[in-house]
Amino acid sequence: MSEPGVLEGDFFLDGDTAIAEGAICAGCRFFGGYPITPATEIAERMASRLPEVGGVFIQMEDELASINSVVGAAWGGARAMTATSGPGLSLMLENIGLAIMTETPCVVVNVQRGGPSTGLPTLTSQGDMMQARWGSHGHYEVIALAPGSPQEAFDLTIRAFNLAEKYRTPVFLMTDEAVGHMTERVVIPPAERIPIYPWRKPEVPPGPDFLPYAPQEDGVPPFPVAGTGYRVHVTGLTHDERGYPETTAAAQEKLIPRLIAKIRDNQHDIIDVVEEDVEDADVVVLAYGISARTALLPVRMAREEGIRAGLLKLVTVWPFDERRVRQLAKRVRAFVVPELNMGQIALEVERCAGGQARVLPVTHPGGDIHAPEDILDAIRDVVG
């Protein structure tokens, strides 16, 4: 049975509102954010809903303070999130790097809009995909999910919180204005049907022998949140397993490969893709988010023309599904990659295809979605 204030049933919601409700169902009880189009509806919903479930909403003075509050709330034991768009994410990325280094579980939603700079505040884009991957400095791995509908926005928000807790890392939900403002039926299941990954509670009691950054078998340390008796030093500096700064090459060699490996070594658990008509395809349309939804019609139209086309939809964009792309590149003639940018994930496809299959980007600078005919023409081109 759902706890008081948590919704259950069928609703007519836009994607932004579905994200807020997904966060509440996932146990999020802290939101720190700053209004920005087209993500403001998430903050507005959380402002009204979190008090109803015993949570806290704080509108901070800017995006830098927003991500700081989220990191602090997570160390205080709250499931915490923020929501922004491209300009705000640019400001948050320094302390998202802090969250990666300190292994702080949290969720960052980016409702993408056209850029650079203030660009197209009210219109759609997928131009921040590489920003999410490489926007902070240093070498690290991230997890980023891309919903293509309000229902997926709800479902993937829950998954984002579970992945954040499981791997002690910030997780991006990379949606866009089109999905954020799209209104459709969203089913919120009973609480008992929503999987929740539990807090990684330390198995060792507080004391001098406890090492807060000593990893468990899967490479992830337990999470000794503040107020539970554990003394923890939290720093963005390279640190030892006690959490104390150790700014040496030897400490860096021990810490950074572990932070990378905990994502790379668990890709089988993290990566999620959806395939349609890929088994016999000569050409595979690879897409994510709203572009994957747009691509479904031209793939089916190509089939009607006798072209064996299939759709590989990236639900998880980061880590990128290198294994599946390399596997397909050995037998398909081409990949068609529509995205609302000038070619970002297409470069990943090209890298993994390694010249074995042609890669044709279908670029669009944003503002609106692809015309299905443009994707269909690209499919025809690579098989013609």
- pLDDT tens digits, one per residue of 320-350: 999 999 999 999 999 999 999 999 999 999 9
Look at residue 298 in the predicted model and tell me its pLDDT.
Answer: 98
Q: What percent of the chain has pLDDT over 90?
A: 97
Q: Would you say 28 and 6 are in contact if contact means Cβ atoms under 8 Å apart?
A: no
43-61 mean pLDDT = 98
What is the spatial distance between Cα 146 and Cα 317, in angstroms, rounded to a whole number?
A: 7
**CATH topology classification for 273-383:** Rossmann fold (3.40.50)
Confidence check: pLDDT of 179 > 60: yes
H-state helical runs in the chain: 15-25, 40-49, 63-75, 86-102, 129-134, 150-167, 177-180, 249-264, 267-270, 289-304, 322-329, 345-353, 372-383
CATH 3.40.50.920 residue ranges for the chain: 273-383
What does the mean pLDDT of the chain come to? 97
Which residues, at least 6 apart from 247, have a Cβ–Cβ distance to it below 8 Å? 237, 238
Q: Would you say 68 and 52 are in contact if contact means Cβ atoms under 8 Å apart?
A: no
Of the pLDDT bands very low, low, confident and very high (cuts 50, 70, 90), residue 2 is low
H-state helical runs in 76-187: 86-102, 129-134, 150-167, 177-180
Confidence check: pLDDT of 271 > 90: yes
Q: Would you say 366 and 124 are in contact if contact means Cβ atoms under 8 Å apart?
A: yes
Of the pLDDT bands very low, low, confident and very high (cuts 50, 70, 90), residue 208 is confident
69-85 mean pLDDT = 98
Look at residue 176 in the predicted model and tell me its pLDDT.
Answer: 98
Look at residue 209 in the predicted model and tell me its pLDDT.
Answer: 87
Look at residue 62 in the predicted model and tell me its pLDDT.
Answer: 98
Residue whose entry in the numeric block shows the structure tokens 């927003």 = 66
- pLDDT tens digits, one per residue of 214-241: 999 999 999 999 999 998 899 999 999 9
What is the spatial distance between Cα 58 and Cα 64, in angstroms, rounded to a whole number?
A: 13
What is the spatial distance between Cα 110 and Cα 257, in angstroms, rounded to a whole number?
A: 27
Of the pLDDT bands very low, low, confident and very high (cuts 50, 70, 90), residue 76 is very high
236-250 mean pLDDT = 97
Look at residue 3 in the predicted model and tell me its pLDDT.
Answer: 81
CATH 3.40.50.970 residue ranges for the chain: 9-193
Q: What are phi and psi of 199, to 5 degrees?
A: -55, 135
Q: Which two tokens stand for residue 271?
A: 């990566």
Enter the CATH code of domain 9-193: 3.40.50.970
0.75 exceeded by the pTM? Answer: yes
Q: Residue 172 is inside which H or E element, if any? A: strand 170-176
- pLDDT tens digits, one per residue of 274-316: 999 999 999 999 999 999 999 999 999 999 999 999 999 999 9
Q: How many CB atoms lie within 10 A of CB 77?
A: 15
162, 166, 167, 173: CA torsion to nearest 10: 0
Look at residue 194 in the predicted model and tell me its pLDDT.
Answer: 97
Give the residue from 294, 268, 321 showing the smallest Cα distance to 379: 294
1-15, 109-123, 276-290, range with the lowest pLDDT? 1-15
Look at residue 1 in the predicted model and tell me its pLDDT.
Answer: 53
